[in-house]
């Protein structure tokens, strides 16, 4: 199936890998953007944040980033300043961010991507840690 789905992906991130695998489990091959190698332009990043309906602060990643050293926990910082930091240090952009015809979403946890897929899961899916997310009939497992 060809459908316009884009995933802003970091192959080092388990959540991002699980999200990508669920997209592929629906029979969709997305456009994969390794955003650490090819960061989005500022206008695109601003558009993605707006379309996801979140604030720049909600997109900030703390773990494994210069978040603390840059003082990004300061509530006085403006959205523009937070985006400046993400532009300078793309590792600060949380992932995976997924764009589909059904919307834009930061997929944390990874099963959030199921709300964005126009096709059903083709079979069972378990995350890398073994957590079952989709049953053999392709239905979301709720716990």
The answer to whether residues 16 and 96 touch, using CB atoms and an 8 Å cutoff, is yes
> Among 5, 13, 97, 104, which one carries the catalytic annotation?
13
Chain-centroid distance of CA 112 in Å reads: 9
Q: Coil, strand or helix: which one is 58?
A: helix
Query: Sign of the CA dihedral 119, 141, 102, 98?
Result: negative
13 is catalytic: yes
Q: For residues 78 and 84, give the distance between their C-alpha atoms in angstroms, rounded to a whole number.
A: 10
The packing angle between helices 79-88 and 42-52, to 10°, is: 130
Instruction: Give catalytic residue positions.
Output: 13
């Amino acid at each position: 199936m060809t459908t316009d789905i884009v995933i802003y992906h970091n192959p080092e991130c388990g959540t991002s890998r699980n999200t990508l695998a669920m997209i592929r489990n629906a029979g969709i091959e997305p456009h994969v953007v390794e955003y650490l190698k090819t960061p989005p332009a500022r206008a695109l990043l601003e558009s993605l944040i707006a379309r996801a309906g979140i604030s720049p602060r909600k997109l900030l990643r703390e773990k494994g980033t210069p978040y603390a050293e840059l003082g990004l926990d300061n509530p006085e910082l403006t959205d523009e300043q937070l985006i400046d930091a993400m532009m300078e240090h793309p590792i600060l952009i949380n992932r995976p961010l997924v764009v589909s015809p059904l919307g834009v979403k930061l997929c944390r946890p990874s099963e959030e991507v199921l709300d964005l897929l126009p096709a059903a899961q083709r079979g069972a899916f378990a995350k890398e840690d073994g957590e079952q997310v989709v049953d053999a009939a392709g239905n979301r497992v709720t716990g």
